[in-house]
Amino acid sequence: MQWRIKMRTEAIDWLGVLATEEEIRNNNLGRSNCIVNKWDTLQFYLKVISRMPGQASNTQYVVCYSNRLDNEAIVDNGAYDEDVRIDDYVKQLKNYFFRFNYEENQAGYFVAKNIDAINLSEDYYPGKGFTTIPMIVSKHPVYPNDRVYDNFEELENALKNDEYVSKLNKYNTSGLDNIPYLIFHNTETLEYRIIGNFTGFDYDVTRGIRYDYNELKSFVFEEDWYDDVVSFENNNSLLYVGDYVHKKIMAKLDETESIAVKEKIESNQEEINDLFFNESQDDEWEFIEHFEAVAKKDGLFYTKKDLINFHAAVKSSSLVILSGLSGTGKSQLVQCYAKALGLIDDSFHMIPVRPNWNDDSDLIGFVDSMHMVYRPSDAGFINILMEACQERNKNKLYIICFDEMNLARVEHYFSQFLSILEMPEKSRVLRLYSSEYESRLYNSDKYKPTVEIGNNIRFIGTVNIDESTFHFSDKVLDRANVIKLEIIPYTEWKTGEITTKGSFVKEWTYEEYQKLIRMPKDNMLSDREREFIWNVHEVLNSCGKNLGIGPRILKQIAKYLANLPINSNNENISRKEGFDIQFVQRIMTKIRGQREQLTAIFDVESDKSLIKLFDEYSDVSDFLKSRRALEIKNQELNDYGYTL
């Protein structure tokens, strides 16, 4: 028997308060915010009120047990009658902030652990939120042997010199677009100081975090801001900043003069990129024709624009998901793409997803604590990643396809990996197990605690949408290009001898494939394109606070449009067509809910009508595909009362 704990953990410090009874009832979590359970333990709900910059918790409410709360000031008077016991305990809980991690158990409940409590501040009010900001405390390292700063000037110099400044503890960088600023806490003067205006970051598990900036800015925390932050004892890495003060800090960063400006190195890099790109255009179009021929030879009949869309999505996305009717050749299309790239057996891997996968150990593996070995999943995923990151294989291109990936809940078995995909290349490190086990595992020489995920791997998934599968959460949709394949009408199938271009029967290297990839200038869309998406965001957000379009999606759309193959004939996808395609694949997939919530979007007479926006921004695109997708969703609302 192998001892294996199947539980997903969020090793992040969140801030919370006692949830109200109304919140618990409205979210169908029960009838009360505190009960006595069958083990005679008080069980209550905490509401998460903190978030990382631009990123919320996976859940808003977590279960907590009184026997996990180590605070002498909060007393469970078990001798009282049940109702009095609960009322007395709730009155105490209402006076505290709670800091905690949480874990998801096998039943799907999020359970708090490692709980600390401090008195609630006088200016706290229901609905108030906090942003979690990394903090560096003078003379106190985040971890043993981590870098120590005696004063602010040492931190400032480290940032000016582009050094890795510190590790992060109880903080999640996965999926974050940016950490806008740091807080430095001087333990002698008790002063907080802001330093930042960061444009991005690079996180290395061994060296810590390095921040990017164009102009570095700094200023002292204002006096009236101190009442709007929450800090716990023995916490040398995080500060919870009230959202009002966070907005004030962001505004002041814009107004403050710079203390350092990075020199703009004049170079002809853009011209070099254009040269490489222009040289590769003809090769890329020949590859498209070769890909089409390979697909037809294997009995697949898709339009050339569908194949171009798939190719552009694979080039520009960290994850591409092919959706469609069962039997339409989704898995075979991925195989044809690999074949067109000349990828031989050890470069292309198909991983069938199983319905019983319910956490990331089913994909990654686990520590067998009885035999003290790391056991990788029999899917072979980890061995592929280890092979691809070896120095001799770094110029080798790999494709990994997760076949029927929604047979199990993607958010469960794919959670850690999904977050890592959005990180910069050097920061894409997958943790297999805690470093504390490395010296104790017999096979740790082969399976290190972490494995690098190189850019030389392209990830693709296939899904069927039927009663045996699960639908995707926003966490998946935000990171994936979801392509719904349509086949050519059977009457238009052309049979006969099909030849492929011999010059492309070769194995593409990562370097050759990388030359086809073009980064959009400044990661920006045109003014009209961004204006249109913002208006759509406001319409969706007015229908539900969980509906909307995040900045990540804008960047992904821009990258896709920049990577559309260019050709002088009419077979290529124009920018207007590409924008329409991306609206369907990136945004329409997020329009989900009940008729009462979404009716206005489909009503042409409503101020929230998407049809009106399509007409108003006809210069951006004709939105033919988007209009058809909208009609289908409207029909679903009429037939079933909801759309997915």
Task: Work out the pLDDT band at 266, boundaries 50, 70, 90.
Answer: very low
Q: How many CB atoms lie within 10 A of CB 167?
A: 21
Instruction: Return the bridge partners of 36, or none.
Output: 42
Residue 9's pLDDT is: 45
Q: Rounded to the nearest 5°, which phi and psi values hold at 177? A: -75, -30
Amino acid 52 reads: M
Buried b (16+ CB within 10 A) or exposed e, 250-263: eeebeeeeeebeee
Give tens-digit pLDDT for 581-637: 999 999 998 888 888 888 888 888 888 889 999 999 999 999 999 999 999 988 988
Is residue 268 scored above 60 in pLDDT? Answer: no
Question: Using an 8 Å Cβ cutoff, are 48 and 14 in contact?
Answer: yes
The gap from C-alpha 159 to its chain's centroid, in whole angstroms, comes to: 27
Is residue 490 scored above 90 in pLDDT? Answer: no
Give tens-digit pLDDT for 110-156: 889 889 999 998 888 888 889 999 998 998 887 777 788 999 999 99
Report, as an integer, the average pLDDT of 384-413: 90
Instruction: Return the bridge partners of 461, or none.
Output: 321, 402
Task: Work out the pLDDT band at 59, boundaries 50, 70, 90.
Answer: confident
Q: Give CA torsion, residues 256, 259, 265, 271, to 10 deg.
A: -20
Is residue 7 scored above 70 in pLDDT? Answer: no
Task: Work out the pLDDT band at 78, boundaries 50, 70, 90.
Answer: confident
Cα angle vertex 445, ends 441, 449, to 5°? 65
Residue linked to tokens 């205006």: 197
Residue 467's pLDDT is: 57
Burial (CB < 10 A; 0-12, 13-18, 19+), residue 32, is: middle
Is residue 459 scored above 60 in pLDDT? Answer: yes
**What CA–CA distance (Å, rounded) separates 127 from 145?**
39
Task: Work out the pLDDT band at 10, boundaries 50, 70, 90.
Answer: low
Residue 631's pLDDT is: 92
**What CA–CA distance (Å, rounded) separates 144 from 141?**
6
Report, as an integer, the average pLDDT of 564-583: 86
Give tens-digit pLDDT for 204-255: 767 788 888 889 999 999 999 998 999 888 777 889 999 889 989 999 998 9
Question: Using an 8 Å Cβ cutoff, are 600 and 608 in contact?
Answer: yes
Q: Rounded to the nearest 5°, which phi and psi values hold at 101? A: -100, 170
pTM, rounded to two decimals: 0.65
Q: Can you give the residue ranges of every domain in the chain?
A: 8-119, 130-261, 519-644
CA distances from 374 to 11, 150, 348, 360, 389 (A): 21, 41, 25, 14, 19
- Domain topology for 8-119: OB fold (Dihydrolipoamide Acetyltransferase, E2P) (2.40.50)
End-to-end alpha-carbon separation of the chain, Å? 42
